[in-house]
Structure 1
Amino acid sequence: MVLCRRRLASVQRKWFVLIFLCGTVLVVISFSRNNNFGTAITNSVHLRDEGAPLKTVTLAVLKVTNISKVEDGPPVKLQRAKVEVHNRIPPGYSVRVVPDIVQQDGSLKTERVIFPNVFRNDTSAMKKYVTYLQTHEEQLPPQSKAIIIVTNYRSGSSFFGELLNQHPDVFYMFEPLIVVSQMEYCGRNRELQKKILKDLFQCKIPNWYEIYSELPRRPRMTKNIFTCIRKKFCFAPFTKELTEEKHCPLAQINITRRHDPWDHCGAINTNLAGNDCKRKKYVAMKVIRLCDMGDLEDVIDSIPIDLKVLHLIRDPRGIAHSRHAIHPRMNMVESMRFTCKRQAGNSLLGLNIAPEWLKGRYKMFRYEDAALRPYEVAQELYDYVGLDFPDVVREWIAKNTNQPIPTSMRSTSPSDEEIPANDINAQRMLRLKPRRDPWGHSRDSKQVVQRWRYRLPFLQTRVIESVCTEIMRIAGYLPIDKVTYGNLSRHFFLNKIPQF
């Protein structure tokens, strides 16, 4: 009797599971039909060849029209698509129709503009912001001096780039190529990348809406639509000038809260931003997605530009550790194989081959040197490009590396700590502690250099070294062994980059 009851219970459980699975399938099919999605869109999009029926597919915050119907089957070449900004508004923002908004070429246009919700109850700040959008200046001559930091993902470039961003004579741009490239696919959109760099070197801010319209649609490439199109400038909060009150009027709420440019700044007036860029001695940018440094030759040949190329290298083992902390499921060996091959190729081009167009323009830096000796490396950087070393940068380094300013570099001029008592916002910012952010640039820089030694297992470290042998030799990084790996007082890199 007991045996029969157990068998009956087992049969009942199996029928319950079967009914549940069937119900789930029916719900998915019904949802798919009602929403006209067809095949679910995940990390890849499969499109029918030309001539297939057209339909509209929603990807992230884009509405993409005139795309071939989504079907099962092998992927084919993506067709170009028309882009429309989706009606959904990001959290923390509202929309308002503003007339006579100035475009970069000086023309006027009525637009639906997003503005921060902090302006809703602050008519004064809102008025300032609308006036800012409607302000027009005559265009200045194109910028003629540029700096580009060529580097790789998780190579310490955010910190290194801040040495330029914090300089009062530099207009800095953060990752302007992110919208037209993918991390580990070279050769895509290379001509478009060159065109964007050509414009940015002259302080011509691209029309990101038109650029997106020309791109094949891939879900990966839609994630920065809010940053680039809606704000008309990619990663504007990472450009120091664009977070100041001229481009980002302060609302009353900012007096009692931390000023967050991501949430408290609206779209940029590209006409004013372009002219601010042209007034600086240099325009600078850092890119992690320029696969072949040789592409810069075409840019240099097409415009009159005095370009300096700063090639930032980091210990592959440190890169691997940093990437794993952000992407624990990443295939680290293949990722590092790709990165190290690209690093080595660009390094040999600049140090060994040194074509005529690159002579006098190229200089390699190592992240480890900047982290351990930030003042010395900053001085070397400024000497190379012809800039002075201002007190404001020394003070920024001291605050963001936990390394005091050397006695020989100390100035008798007032520091940031000596802020007038009536400057309420500045006094408030001094009391706020910086937030921990894996994407930020504030670190105990000496500890970061050694962190991979504590986290990467010995065997995994050896595998990374095996696929990065060439760049380690070029940049002066030393392989580990079982005897020395446990010696945490030892650095596994030469004091200086080897000479070729």
Structure 2
Amino acid sequence: MTRPKPTAMECSWKAVLLLVVASLAIQYTAIRTFIAKPFTICRVPKHTGCDPNPAAPCDPRPQPVTHILILATTRSGSSFIGQLLNQHADVFYLFEPLYHVQTTLINTSARSRQPSSPAADGRRLLLGAYRDLLRGLFDCRLHDLEAYIKPAPERHRTQRLFRRGASKALCSPPACAAPPPPPAASAGGEAQRAGTGTAAGEERWEEGECVRRCGALNLTLAAQACSRRHHVAIKTVRIPEIGDLRTLVEDPRLNLKVVQLVRDPRGILSSRIDTFPDSFRAWKIWRNSGRRPYNLDASHLATTCEDFLNSVGTGLARPGWLKGRYMLVRYEDLAREPERKTREIYRFLGVAMDGNVQRWIVNNTRGAGASGNHKYATVRDSAATAESWRFKLSYDMVELVQNLCNLTLAQLGYKLVNSPEELRNMSVSLAEDKSFLPFL
């Protein structure tokens, strides 16, 4: 008895099965062969040692990306601490990019004919825009700024980036193609270079000179400069509390570490009077005449102290979402021992402090006074500057601040003064010896 011949359907089914089995075998063999050999993966171009040029060699060593946010308030020493990060050769630093968000949204609201939204709604709108922009900038998407820069950039080029000259990365190739200035032969030129904290043979421009020489900023090239560095640092005085950053801190795409800088509110007030005379005219009249004006507005100071109280209270409570992400720094501690405190900050960030930072500290914390009249200058005797307000404010003014901010002063370890004599007695610091350890 003969077996029936297989039908075409049976042949087709068997052929498919054989092909599947063969394919699986081939894939399995290929995978085993592939993983048996050593290999490296180069992440190009973001935050690696790999050059975007495919012809260039790639450094395969993994380097962790650190996203750093300096959380501060106006006139608290944030420009100073920002420069401690800006000087690092592998840090891309931006000075107050949220300025553009605030000015654009506030101006748009002012031009609208619709009734103003409640304050709470306006605050939520601003904070949401702030967080969105920060998320993009930490990822080196500098083009995200274009929606807020006015007039709008053309072909990704702008002359209007706020304080562009405060960032070394934006004043260096590839963001700036201008040749460096020739070495100055005069004593004045030597002093200028020394004041900017540069090493021998390294040229450092003042902010205005950077803008003049570099011309319009190409945001595409700026993004490339960002991607070539392994750490991105941003300073802001526009986010009131650490709690407003929780969604960013918990974002798994970020390795965000927040350094909150605080200062004695009495020192903040004194600095604001000098820096913003139009907004603080009544306070200046009181300081100069000794008579308190009837229209004195202290709400800004009360708000600052309340923000400190809430934000620091959250940080010191050590919630789980801040573990390894939060460090509190008093400006007075940084000013008294700048090198030691800077090392503590870099240790918390997990970044090795380089020689550029050390040189900048030496050249910018032992000077006789501010470099020029610029309100953001950082060349000064930092220890003397920290409590110089004690000679500028009258005892009556200090007493008002102490009444408004007594809880904040106690929380941060600032001593109260009870007489004009105590106020002027510089042999006793008003910043208590108090340790604020990072939450690790």
Alignment of 1:230 onto 2:158? yes
Match of 1:345 among 310, 328, 338: 310
In 2, Cα distance between equivalents of 1:401 and 1:224: 39
User: What is the aligned partner in structure 2 of residue 313 from structure 1?
Assistant: 262
Q: Which residue of 1 aligns with 2:224?
A: 275
Count of residues in Structure 1 that have an aligned counterpart in Structure 2? 326
Q: Match of 2:131, as an amino acid? A: K
Higher relative contact order (CA 8 A, sep 6+): 2
Taking structure 2 as the reference length, the TM-score comes to 0.66
Please name the residue that 1:94 is paired with: none
CA distance in 1, matches of 2:362, 2:229: 25
Moved more, 468-477 or 248-257: 248-257
The residue identity in structure 2 corresponding to 1:146 is H
Alignment-derived partner of residue 431 in structure 2: 493
Distance in 1, matches of 2:436 and 2:233, equals 27
Aligned to 1:250: 178
The aligned amino acid for 1:308 is K
Deviation per CA, 1:155-203, whole angstroms, max 9, x where unpaired? 0010111111111121111101112227998444221111101101211
Q: Which amino acid aligns with 1:174?
A: F
Indicate the SS of the match to 1:149.
strand
- The separation in 2 between residues aligned to 1:361 and 1:252, in whole angstroms, is 38
> Structure 2: how far apart are the matches of 1:464 and 1:254?
49
Letter in 1 for 2:213: H
Contact 2:174 2:225 in 1 (8 A): no
Give the drift of 1:471: 1.8
**1:211–1:181 CA distance, 2 compared to 1 (3 A):** closer
Which of 156, 179, 192 is the matching residue for 2:77?
A: 156
Given that residues 146 and 152 in structure 2 are in contact (C-alpha distance below 8 angstroms), is that contact kept between their aligned partners in structure 1?
A: no
Shift of 1:446: 1.7
> 1:29-68 residue pairs with structure 2 within 5 A?
none
Aligned to 2:325: 361
What are the Cα deviations for residues 217-251 of structure 1, in whole angstroms up to 9, with x where unaligned? xxxxx69999x972374432111122125432336
Residues in 2 aligned to 1:307 and 1:207: alpha-carbon distance in whole angstroms: 19
Partners of 1:143 and 1:277 within 8 A in 2: no
Map Cα deviations across residues 116-157 of structure 1 (whole Å, 9 max, x no partner): xxxxxxxxxxxxxxxxxxxx979x999942010100000001
Q: Give the conservation status (yes or no) of the 8 Å contact 1:186–1:291.
A: no
Match of 1:181, SS? helix
Which whole-Å deviations, capped at 9, do the CAs of 1:302-358 have from their partners, x for residues lacking one?
451111110000110110000000223425622211111111111111112x33221
Give 1:231's aligned amino acid.
Answer: Q
List per-residue Cα deviations over 1:34-68 (Å, max 9, x = no partner).
Answer: xxxxxxxxxxxxxxxxxxxxxxxxxxxxxxxxxxx
Q: Which residue of 1 aligns with 2:337?
A: 373
Moved more, 271-280 or 389-398: 271-280
Q: Which has the larger radius of gyration?
A: 2
- What is the alpha-carbon distance in structure 2 between the residues aligned to residue 339 and residue 225 of structure 1? 34
Q: Partner of 1:489: helix, strand, or coil? A: coil
Q: Flag the 1:351–1:239 CA change in 2: closer, same or farther, 3 A.
A: same
CA distance in 1 between partners of 2:72 and 2:180 (Å): 40
- Match for residue 113 of structure 2? none
For normalisation by structure 1, the TM-score amounts to 0.59
Do structure 1's residue 285 and structure 2's residue 234 form an aligned pair?
yes
Tell me how far apart the structure 1 counterparts of residues 398 and 151 of structure 2 sit (CA, whole Å): 33
Q: Judge conservation of contact 1:143–1:283 (CA < 8 Å) in 2.
A: no
* Structure 1 residue identity aligned to 2:234: M
3-state secondary structure, aligned to 1:250: coil
Q: Does 1:261 align with 2:210?
A: yes
Q: Is the 8 A contact 1:209 1:229 kept in 2?
A: no
What is the one-letter code of the residue matched to 2:434? K
User: Distance in 2 between the 1:484 and 1:196 partners?
Assistant: 46
Matched, 1:192 2:129: yes
User: SS at the partner of 2:374?
Assistant: coil
3-state SS of the aligned residue for 2:422?
coil
Cα distance in 1 for partners of 2:366, 2:230 equals 29
In the superposition, relative to structure 1, how do residues 229 and 345 fare at CA in structure 2: closer, same or farther (>3 Å)? farther
Cα distance in 1 between the residues matched to 2:222 and 2:53 = 10
The answer to whether the aligner puts 1:297 opposite 2:234 as a matched pair is no
CA distance in 1, matches of 2:347, 2:123: 33
In structure 2, how many angstroms separate the alpha carbons of the residues matched to 1:368 and 1:350?
Answer: 19
How big is the alpha-carbon RMSD for the aligned residues of Structure 1 and Structure 2? 3.4
The alignment-based identity, stated in percent, is 30
**1 CA distance for matches of 2:310 and 2:152?**
29
Aligned to 1:398: 362
Matched, 1:168 2:89: yes
Cα distance 1:485–1:255, how it changes in 2: closer, same or farther (>3 A)? Answer: closer
Greater alpha carbon shift after TM alignment, 292-301 vs 356-365:
292-301
Q: Distance in 2 between matches of 1:232 and 1:450?
A: 35
User: How far apart, in 2, do the equivalents of 1:224 and 1:341 lie?
Assistant: 36
Conserved 8 A contact 1:478-1:493: yes
**Cα distance between partner residues in 2 of 1:389 and 1:293:** 25
Kindly indicate which of the two structures has a greater share of residues assigned to strand: 1
Q: Secondary structure at the match of 2:143?
A: coil
Q: What is the Cα deviation at residue 496 of structure 1?
A: 1.8
Tell me the distance in 2 between the aligned counterparts of 1:223 and 1:481: 52
Cα distance in structure 2, aligned partners of 1:439 and 1:223? 25
Structure 1 distance, partners of 2:183, 2:379, is 23
Q: Which runs of 5+ in 2 are unaligned?
A: 1-44, 46-51, 107-118, 193-204, 281-295
Specify the code of the residue in structure 2 equivalent to 1:447: A
Aligned to 1:71: none
* Partner residue, 1:99: none
Deviation at 1:470, TM superposition (A): 2.1
